[in-house]
Amino acid sequence: MTNSRPKGFANPWLVLGFEVICVLVYELLQKRGASATVHLSQVWSWTGLTALASPLTWLAMGLMIISLLSWLYVLRYIPLSIAFPLSRVVDILVPLSCWMILGEDISTRRWCGIALVIIGLILMAKPAAQLEEKL
Amino acid sequence: MSWQVFVLIPVALIAFVAGQLCLKRGMESSAAKGFHDRKVLAFLGCGIFSMTINFLITLGLLAHLDLSFVYPFQGLSVIIISLAAAVVLREKLNLRLTLGALLISVGVVLVSMS
């Protein structure tokens, strides 16, 4: 890689973390926004259009755009084979935060999946750190 | 289960993987060439087009099938993207990275199945 890496807040690993948090928050906001407006119309709620009545949905859309732009920025610096698996942490953060914040249950199978993802992340952490030294 | 499912699930997956590869290639060249380069714009355009196809097909699948059936296939994209990035983009992939990506992939599939 020829280009020099930005430091501080522009650090691509930090931006990757920011992207994951944006996705996590917008998924939770989508759920909140959609649930809050389901009473408006039983029929139209299935199209997602009623969710537009909630400001939370619009906040979610804003975060979606921010997360996409951050993802493009990350791709500029980090290999896809590392960045993409790491970005999927969000798939375990969503059930974990639903469990902690919304009090939803997590099945045994899901706990097993969460454990596998964590082991995978630990395995990837060292090669990712080595990449960091090389750059 | 109808034949559409067997066709559309792989098509959605391929579109997603191809989209990510195009976006990666486009953003990588943009670092050296900037955003006015025709090749950079072509890759980003193809990437956005592929992601749109994936988005629409996924919506179509969700209209007919359960989320817990459709979403696990997206989990498979983790390992497929890592391998495709190694082959197509010549990214360096060692045993440890491959194993990590594989575990994350299986983990995401398990999480989204329930």
CB contact under 8 A, A121 and B89: no
**pLDDT per residue of chain B (114 residues) written in tens, 0 to 9:** 688 888 999 999 999 999 999 999 999 999 888 888 899 999 999 999 999 999 889 888 888 888 788 888 889 999 999 999 999 999 988 899 999 999 999 999 999 886
CB contact under 8 A, A117 and B93: no
Which residue does chain A place closest to B59, by CA atoms?
A47
The structure's pTM equals 0.86
User: Which residue in B97, B99, B114 is closest to A109 by CB distance?
Assistant: B114
Q: Do you know the residue count of chain B?
A: 114
Encoded tokens for B99: 């194993």
Which residue does chain B place closest to A48, by CA atoms?
B59
Q: What percent of chain B has pLDDT over 70?
A: 98
Q: What is the dihedral of CA B21, B25, B31, B35, to 10 degrees?
A: -100
User: Which residue in A2, A85, A122 is closest to B32 by CB distance?
Assistant: A2
SS3 (DSSP) at A135: coil
Distance CA A105, CA B41 (A): 45
CB contact under 8 A, B27 and A75: yes
Please report the ipTM that was assigned to this predicted complex. Answer: 0.89
Distance CA B34, CA B93 (A): 27
CB count within 10 Å of CB B34 equals 9
User: Which residue in A2, A79, A113 is closest to B107 by CB distance?
Assistant: A113
**pLDDT per residue of chain A (135 residues) written in tens, 0 to 9:** 445 677 777 899 999 999 999 999 998 888 888 777 777 777 777 777 777 788 888 898 999 999 999 999 999 999 999 999 999 999 999 889 988 887 888 999 999 999 999 999 999 988 888 877 765
